[in-house]
Structure 1
Amino acid sequence: MRRVYFDHSATTPVRPDVADEMCAFLKENFGNPTSLHYFGRQARKEVEAAREKVAAAIGATPNEIVFTSGGTESDNMAIHGVAMINKNKGNHIITSAVEHHAVINTVKALGKEGFTVTILPVDKYGMVSVDDVAAAITDKTILITIMHANNEVGTIMPIKEIGSLARSKGITMHTDAVQSFGKIPFSVEELGVDLLTISGHKIYGPKGVGALYIRKGTRWKQSLFHGGAQERLRRAGTENVPGIVGLGKAAELAIRDLQSEAEHLKALRDRLIHEVTTKIDYVKLTGHPTMRLPNHASFTFEFIEGESMLLSLDLKGVAASSGSACTSGSLEPSHVLLAMGIPHEIAHGSIRITLGRDNTMEDIDYFLEIMPPIVNRLRAMSPLDQETEFAINGSCDACKAHGSCKM
């Protein structure tokens, strides 16, 4: 059976060059980087080399990079760290309705600890308005946290403009760049952010490692972990040396190959979007039509359940998703799609296709071959079959039998 992986926003395979570098630190160079002897010094040297690579990838300085266990920890560290050190100055946090749960649930938790949270709406493309951000700011606002690119619909947010606004008001700005890092070019200076989150396993690096950029001079307090002096007292716990080395290598390769990969992925993405939306009825692209990640295509299919489509695709060897991997076990429709104004019944019929560096036009052709029959079969089996027939043909069996429409 042909196997096609279209779920790169959930995770990516580790690149061979990354795995090779990691292996040395699982076997020969196994030292603890806080140890003073030779083995520890070798590990420390490579941790700092990786820090330099990650910093270079986003235009930061090495001492502004803190290694973490991944995107969720980095988001939590950023938000808690700013909130706790500034709580005597203000208690207001601004975010958006389409953030990853690592941000949404963190600010909601702070809302139970005396902080005030404004969750901004988005437009039909899932984009936050800069004007809405400006209108939400008060003299108590201490943090704005809005993602750089959405994981479910691929929309790229106007972070540069929001960052400029935040800086003009003296407000700390954080962005979750887990999905955009390594896919679109940016620097922390260009974006105007004070904190930025990245994750290794979204850029062909290992799972369980990430980083948090903290701009020099940012008011931030380590408030999640208490322990040793690792990461310059910013993140206690023995460093995950193999993971950090892998992240550094993955970041280096991602930036080196960014332009060529983006061009390759855009060609695949654009053909996929065009063919799906023109050859299958009652399908809509979700997310912004142009301001979107180069590898991202997401759709809603009316009169059909997303889970049924995913299972049918899996039986044909195609791996896709219905949205964030973090909520794939939930029966609730995507909070992102609902925030975009998509009705519950349509939001349930969503799928996300996220492409990767190894995907080919043949993969796209295969998907386009198998998807229309899957949609037709599932719609014919749907409990909404009468509504489906009415919508598509203008009548249904009940209408034909009774000579009038009962719907």
Structure 2
Amino acid sequence: MINTSYIYLDNASTTRVDDKVIKEMIPFMSEFYGNSSSSHALGIETNKNIIIARQNVAKLFNAEPKEIIFTSGATEAINTIFKGLVASNRTKRSQIITVTTEHSAVLDTCKYLEEIGVDVIYMPVLESGLIDLCELRKVISEKTLLVSVMLVNNETGVIQPVKEVTEIAREFGALMMTDATQAVGKISIDVQDIDVDYLVFSGHKFHGPKGIGGYYHNSKAFNFQPLIHGGGQEKGRRSGTLNVPGIIGLGKSCEICLNEIEKNKSSIKKLRDLLENELLVIEGAFINGDKENRVYNILNISFPDIEADILIKMLNNICVSNGSACHSELIEPSHVLRAMGLSNKDAFSSIRFSLSKYNTEDEILYTIKKVKEIIYQLKTSNYA
């Protein structure tokens, strides 16, 4: 049956919390409410569960539990890594390399660092949204402190060759960070294989609670100054009373992802492909981003001569996006699509559909029907 209240196809923005995650969290807001840093019995019992949650997160990435640091989410983790590395750097390395299609959490942090004297290089991308590794070799040098390339783009779903980027960074002695916020729970991530120094994630992107996330810190990598000082929690890397219910929920989300990832990939891809194939029938419609190197739950599609904002409003209870939710109130074209070479007009005509395990075939068929009806209506009205 179709959920007549909402058809939610904006899962790259945030996701519904899994019922099993909620069930796991509830006792830690009632029965086990102790501070995990306390030495009394309730604190010790709470901390035991924090340890299990950290193990579950680490297992999802093939990391060691001690390499997982909890934060309020990916944005805090990104700020922590960038600013911490710059503040702690005592070498001649004064350069950061990132990509023009990164999330604003990376780009805005880099703009701040530029203001305090850091040299930042913003790598362009090809029309596919992929970076050019040859161009990276041209700009990287012994001055490079950090290379930051997101694993999966939040608007197009394009998967960047992070392992190959890391190999290049290693040749020049640079550190490597990847924003894996959109990748976790969708594709398998092995930090030993991709060999990054830092990897960022956020729970609410994979059916966990909001307000919790963190980063993987390779135990062999540079240990920088923390962004937040205080009680010395997280081994001094992130002070502040731990968000116990959030951490428990995050750990459970990671455990579920590990068990469901292959099953979800098959079912969600089937729905995404159905949606994509039917919408491409619309005259002029085209996909944004590399069709081979992308995650299976995101579809970014342009409908020329149709304003995305108008289409989104007319879709009413079908929740979709015209780009990153962080910039949803800005009346400007997607910086990701513009970096890929789209005109302002085509960027303004683009919509992102992002699916999850909770979507159904009935919902997708209904969405296809409504999109086609609305676009036909707009093209045959005075609007066109």
Q: TM-score, structure 1 length as denominator?
A: 0.91
Partners of 2:204 and 2:33 in 1: CA distance: 22
In structure 1, stretches of 5+ residues that fail to align are: 386-407
Share of identical aligned residues, percent? 39
Distance 2:73 2:378 in 1: 37
- Which position in structure 2 is the counterpart of 1:369? 369
> In 2 relative to 1, CA 189–88 (structure 1 residues): closer, same or farther, beyond 3 Å?
same
1:135-284 aligned at under 5 Å gives the runs: 135-278=138-281, 280-284=282-286
The residue aligned with 1:349 is 349
Matched residue type, 1:296: I
CA distance in 2, matches of 1:326, 1:165: 31
Q: Secondary structure at the match of 2:186?
A: coil
Cα distance in 2 for partners of 1:324, 1:48 equals 33
Q: Report if the CA contact (8 A) 2:153-2:159 is conserved.
A: yes
Is residue 123 from structure 1 mapped to residue 126 from structure 2 by the alignment?
Answer: yes
Deviation at 1:381, TM superposition (A): 4.6
Query: d(CA) in 2 for partners of 1:369 and 1:214?
Result: 46
- State the Cα distance separating 1:84 from its structure 2 match: 2.0
Contact preservation (8 Å) 2:101, 2:339: yes
| 2:294 pairs with 1:292 | yes
Contact 2:212 2:250 in 1 (8 A): yes
- 1:79 paired with 2:82, answer yes
RMSD (Å), alpha carbons: 1.2
Q: CA deviation at 1:87?
A: 4.9
Letter in 1 for 2:23: D
Residues 194 and 382 (structure 1), Cα distance of their counterparts in 2 relative to 1, 3 Å cut: farther
Provide the C-alpha distance between the structure 2 equivalents of 1:66 and 1:352, rounded to a whole number of angstroms.
31
Q: How far off is 1:376 after superposition?
A: 1.9
Q: Please show how residues 49-64 of structure 1 align to structure 2 within 5 Å.
A: 49-64=52-67
Q: Deviations over 1:258-306 (max 9, x none)?
A: 001001111111121111112x112111111121111111111111211
Whole-angstrom distance in 2 between the partners of 1:308 and 1:54: 40
In structure 2, what is the Cα distance between the partners aligned to 1:268 and 1:375? 21
- Paired with 1:312 and 1:303, the residues of 2 have a C-alpha distance of 16
* Equivalent position of 1:321 in the other structure: 321
CA distance in 1, matches of 2:179, 2:380: 41
Q: 1:43 and 1:136 mapped to 2: Cα distance?
A: 48
1:396 alignment counterpart = none
Query: Deviation at 1:125?
Result: 1.5
Cross-structure match for 1:303: 305
Contact 1:85/1:219 (8 A) holds in 2: no
| Alignment match of 1:66 (pick from 66, 69, 94) | 69
Unaligned runs of 5+ in 2: none
Contact in 2 for aligned 1:205/1:246 (Cα 8 Å): yes
2:321–2:351 Cα contact (<8 Å) kept: yes
Question: How many Å separate the matches in 1 of 2:263 and 2:254?
Answer: 15
**Alpha-carbon distance between aligned partners in 1 of 2:216 and 2:92, rounded to the nearest angstrom:** 23
Contact 1:71 1:210 in 2 (8 A): yes
Q: Distance in 2 between matches of 1:322 and 1:21?
A: 34
Stretch deviating more after TM superposition (143-152 or 86-95): 86-95
- What is the CA–CA distance in structure 2 between the aligned matches of 1:208 and 1:371, rounded to whole Å? 33
TM-score scaled by structure 2?
0.97
Distance 1:381 1:200 in 2: 43
- Give the secondary-structure state (helix, strand or coil) at the position aligned to 1:174: strand
CA distance in 1, matches of 2:293, 2:362: 26
The CA distance in 2 between the partners of 1:253 and 1:89, in whole Å, is 44
Q: Give the 3-state SS of the residue equivalent to 2:193 in structure 1.
A: helix
Give yes or no for the alignment of 1:358 onto 2:358: yes
Find the structure with the greater CA-based Rg.
Answer: 1
Residue identity matched to 1:165: I
Q: Secondary structure at the match of 2:47?
A: helix
Query: 3-state SS of the aligned residue for 1:204?
Result: coil
| Structure 2 residue aligned with 1:391 | none
Shift of 1:382: 6.1
